[in-house]
Amino acid sequence: MEDCYLGFDFSTQQLKAVVINDKLKVTHQATVKYDIDLPEFRTHGGVHKHDDEVTVTAPPSMWIKALDLILDLLRLQDLDFSTVVAISGAAQQHGSVYWKRGAEEILDDIAGNNFLYDQLQGCFSVRDSPVWMDESTSLECALLERATSGPLPLARVTGSRAFERFTGNQIAKLFRMKPDAYNNTERISLVSSFGATLFLGRYAPIDISDGSGMNLLDIHSKDWSDFCLNMCAPNLREKLGTPVPSCTVLGTIATYYCERFGFSDTCKIVAFTGDNPASLAGTQLNKGEMAISLGTSDTLFLWLANPKPSLNGHILCNPLDSKEYMALLCFKNGSLTRERIRDECAEGSWQLFNDLLESTPRGNFGNIGMYFDSAEIVPPQVKGDYRFNKNNELIERFSKEVEVRALVEGQFLARRVHAEDFGFSIHSASRIIATGGASTNKSLIQVLADVFNMPVYVLEFANSACLGAALRAKHGLLGDFPFQNMFVEPLGLHLSCSPAKDAAQVYGPMLTRFRMIQGKLQKRHAPFGFDEI
């Protein structure tokens, strides 16, 4: 029986698993949707939004129970767990988990005759974990940037200016607001290292790629910045552990999984990482190519050798080569915003949404829309819906078909504007690789190709982070071996759309207008009252 590799993705709304064989072909898949399959946790979109409208959390016990369920689903698909030789995973970035004192002893003693959830639900000093959608740490961000003489010096060390969702600022808030909970915390995990911890039966280290999205890691030394640690909370280095390269083999699987599911006791656990670094692996991105993940948030990333930190984007350590880097631009208003406009304009039907989109011409008669359900990351703090006619006048509403195209064009124009501002060379890139749930919508992808004036290739397997986790599981066992050398040919990439011949002519001037309008919006900080710009 041939060896296989198991990858997980602890994403915002669901837990996903994929199995690949030694020839890198997908053999098994399973999904647990938190809202639907675990209604007892009463999440909406996988999270709890609090009354202050800026605090957003999720219970780690829900993720544990989802793991119980998904392993049973794989067993029902007749997966022979004894053939799994390595496991790795991905997870939503910036979420943090707080293990209380004594939790590792419980992890070391989990029994195979009971569910993980029943044995581990009491292991946390903080019952609900802050996740990437949380915006409640503005004070902590301001203090950190002030201490480092401004946002750009901080970005030069940690890869990013201070962001509310970043774990260092979340830890600083916990220490300020709930010092007893902080002092009762034995180990702080990211959601990714939390997942690895569950499989190891002991605390797993944070990998440097996901760790570089915390405002705590020095991306050059690949170790925690003592200055940033001390600014956040005392004894933090001890609570975080030592970061490791993303391809590190952490150890073998805990006895629990051998007893309950029949895993081999030689099955290796490769460090888990963030969903965006894992997507870089899943899309098989090469130097000179850009990728966009169209999911709950839209994320644009690129492989870099010489990073140039910016105030709007992020530099992370590369998960496939610890000496290299990846650039990341994240836009909070992605698929959930597209779903809202679909519900408002197309009766909840994607087919009707696409029909409306295709019924309007490229350029949308000069109309431009910007839609921010949540305060956006780039541009920062802008929230609300803004509609502009061809004269750049702010208006109250569009017709349904204009609204749909204004949303899609506006989102992709924003992606290109900020990519170029971050230093991406759009014209030197040969193609875009699209992934994520919305990448299967060819009407959306055609607009993406037109706005960027580049061909768009789509990964046939939509869950690139989960696939990337499985691929990284194999890569971890190969040691010092180039990731791209595992492939005889690219896996599952096919040309989806090529740009229209007049794409540059239509979107060149539109890009200039969009940049001007967005700049003025940002200066005024929504909401604001004016009739025109």
Report the mean per-residue pLDDT for the chain: 93
Cis check: omega of the bond before 205, within 30 degrees of 0: no
Residue 203 phi, psi (nearest 5)? -60, 125
Q: 468-500 burial string, b = 16+ CB within 10 Å, else e? A: bbbbbbbbbbeeeeebeeeeeeebbbeebbebe
Q: How far apart are CA 226 and CA 44, in angstroms?
A: 37
Segment 129-138, tens digit of pLDDT: 999 999 999 9
Segment 309-357, tens digit of pLDDT: 888 789 999 999 988 899 888 898 999 999 999 999 999 999 999 999 9
Query: How would DSSP label each residue in 283-343?
Result: TT--TT-EEEEESSSEEEEEEESS----SSSEEEE-SS-TTSEEEEEEES-SHHHHHHHHH
Q: Please, which pLDDT band fits residue 427 given cuts at 50, 70 and 90?
A: confident
Segment 33-88, tens digit of pLDDT: 999 999 999 999 999 999 998 999 999 999 999 999 999 999 999 999 999 999 99
Q: Please, which pLDDT band fits residue 429 given cuts at 50, 70 and 90?
A: confident
Q: How far apart are CA 160 and CA 150, in angstroms?
A: 11
- Kindly give, in sequence order, each residue whose CB lies less than 8 Å from that of residue 218, ignoring residues fewer than 6 positions away: 157, 158, 224, 225
Query: How would DSSP label each residue in 329-343?
Result: EEES-SHHHHHHHHH
Q: What is the pLDDT of residue 532?
A: 41
Find out whether 394 and 328 touch, Cβ atoms under 8 Å: no
Stretch 455-479: mean pLDDT, rounded? 92
Q: 419-443 burial string, b = 16+ CB within 10 Å, else e? A: beebebeeeeeebbbbbbbbbbbeb
Q: What is the pLDDT of residue 288?
A: 67
Q: How far apart are CA 185 and CA 103, in angstroms?
A: 9
Q: Please, which pLDDT band fits residue 526 given cuts at 50, 70 and 90?
A: very low
Q: What is this structure's pTM? A: 0.83
Segment 131-172, tens digit of pLDDT: 999 999 999 999 999 999 999 999 999 999 999 999 999 999
| Res 531 pLDDT > 90 | no
Distances (CA, A) of 130 to 71, 133, 143, 190, 344: 26, 8, 19, 10, 30
